[in-house]
Amino acid sequence: MKQFTTRPEIKGTFGAVSSTHWLAAQCGISVLERGGNAFDAAVAAGFVLQVVEPHLNGLGGEVPIVLWDVTRKKVDVICGQGPAPSAAGIQRIRKMGLGEVPGTGLIAACVPGAFAAWLALLRDHGTWRLADVLEFAIGYAESGYPLLPRITDILVMVEPLFREHWPSSAAVYLGGGVPRPGQRFHNRDLAATYRRLLRDTAPAGGREEQIEAALRSFYSGFVAEAVDLHCRHELMDSSGVAHPGLLTAADLAAFQARREDPVTADFRGWTVAKCGPWSQGPVFLQQLQLLAPYDLASTGFLSADHIHLVTECAKLAFADREAWYGDPDFASVPLADLLSSRYADERRPLVGDRASLALTPGRPAGLEPRLPRREARAVTEGHWTGAGSQSLGAVRGDTVHVAVADRHGNLVACTPSGGWLQSSPVIPGLGFCLGTRAQMFNLDPQHPNHLEGGKRPRTTLSPSLALRDGEPCLAFGTPGGDQQDQWTLEFFLTHAVFGQDLQASIDAPMFHTTHFPSSFAPHDSHPGRLHSEPMEPGVLDELRRRGHDVFEADRSSLGRICAVGVDHATGILSAAASARGAQAYAAGR
């Protein structure tokens, strides 16, 4: 059955871009039309997203990237997830009187990885100079852009925090009072930061040399110096107590974005490539392995059987995420076993007719799983009812996405996040915030994802690239934290199993479970809970009968998936973007 679509699937032969903000998508297309390739377009769009969606990502955040470069004929991952500061550690946090890493403020800052990853993508795969790709972001930061209503909503909630505790944030975002939705908004400090990075490249000659000069300026120059000074100040965080940060200039100087091989799994002629277990990406692949023998098509699209099977397999995969995933440079992650069909066969009998209420990690290679031991949220309950941003009603940050395909055969998916305006104070004079990704560590010394200096947190960020019969043909991703590899899995199944086009697969009703602990402080979980957009009559009632704790969400409220595709038989490129949230757009010609 053909699904209702909110907009056409964009098709063409020249280029295709999909992004969570219409301005980023349009700038990406402009780069392609001016002779750039998919990677130039993605970098330009990525910097625009830092300006126009500062509540969802920023220059102080991170970005994982999955790509196919037609000149290399292989899938690559660029890891733009920065590590914890070298001074970070379990005992350091405990000495502060904390039971976990706060979700906001300076303690949770990791090394900003986004700038290094974007520049690695541009240097190694792009063709444009840095000044050319930054032109769009600088223009919007200097000349202004229409402010999203959601940004205004967030600023209303955090205004007391900004005015009392984070004056540098108030100076950027509240100088004339809380801005109105749709107001033309400027961030001239951020524009000046971009421009200074470019000025520092001027003495360098070639394109690659200029990129290297910009990296030095950021990670060993004025940005690193400003970050070091900023983190020495005691500033309020969500514990309700002011703390300094742990990040130093030396931490930034030691960082480089890394190229890695992807992890992959095969599924009915498809091969899906994801980031390693420093991300949650492998849970997508574990779900595919668990679902492989089921005849999903015969269950009926979005029937109770369909939703039940997908949800119960997700519970098993995410239980393994909780027990086993972490930075493989620091922890022994049995990834080959976790992704094996043999292991999926062992786990699949746990999928029953009724909803499971247990968090049940498996025993890959016979090893004993360890779920993280979590203590009270703070030493005193008063820490969590003080003046931190969470107590003022601030929302968690989220994420953005950009995917691009070009006529040459290049394909890339990028999921930037972190450096949210509401989660950490603006660095004075630079116009952007640090990230708070270290909140995803735990303080259990026996767990793979416990806090250690120089270690990457196990992030939720999870771009995807899929090949069909060995040919790269699909790049996609979504904001959504723990839901990313649930919403994108359902999108992929709708396309690959049920035969819907990209736009119909995005527009189809979505669902997810919050059965397992959240990756974000305070790491709450809701065993058996199933969130669902409205379904056909009787479906949600049947799921309740099977034991699911069903929360019916508003129509078209879950997910902001963006996707681009390539049909190698016809040479046609396609793009689609979610209408949810009324801001993501696809463009192409």
pLDDT at 375: 60
Provide φ and ψ at 433, rounded to 5°: -110, 160
Instruction: Report d(CA 97, CA 11) in Å as an integer.
Output: 56
Instruction: Report d(CA 178, CA 153) in Å as an integer.
Output: 9
Contact status, residue 226 vs residue 430, Cβ threshold 8 Å: yes
With residue 184 as reference, give the H or E element that holds it: strand 184-185
Q: Which CATH architecture has domain 260-375+462-588?
A: Orthogonal Bundle (1.10)
Tens digits of residue pLDDT in 358-408: 999 999 999 999 999 866 443 332 222 233 344 444 455 689 999 999 999
Annotated domain spans of the chain: 21-259+407-440, 260-375+462-588
Q: Return left, alpha or beta for 525; rule: phi > 0 is left, psi -120 to 50 is alpha, else beta.
A: beta
pLDDT at 398: 84
pLDDT at 37: 98
CA 178, chain centre distance (Å): 27
pLDDT at 396: 59
- Beta-sheet pairing, 529-532 with 549-552: parallel
pLDDT at 150: 94
Instruction: Report d(CA 155, CA 162) in Å as an integer.
Output: 9
Instruction: Report d(CA 576, CA 584) in Å as an integer.
Output: 9
Instruction: Report d(CA 309, CA 294) in Å as an integer.
Output: 9
Tens digits of residue pLDDT in 400-443: 999 999 999 999 999 999 999 999 999 999 999 999 999 999 99
Contact status, residue 51 vs residue 137, Cβ threshold 8 Å: yes
Which structure tokens are listed for 206?
């070639």
pLDDT at 205: 83
Low-confidence ranges of the chain (pLDDT < 70): 1-3, 374-397
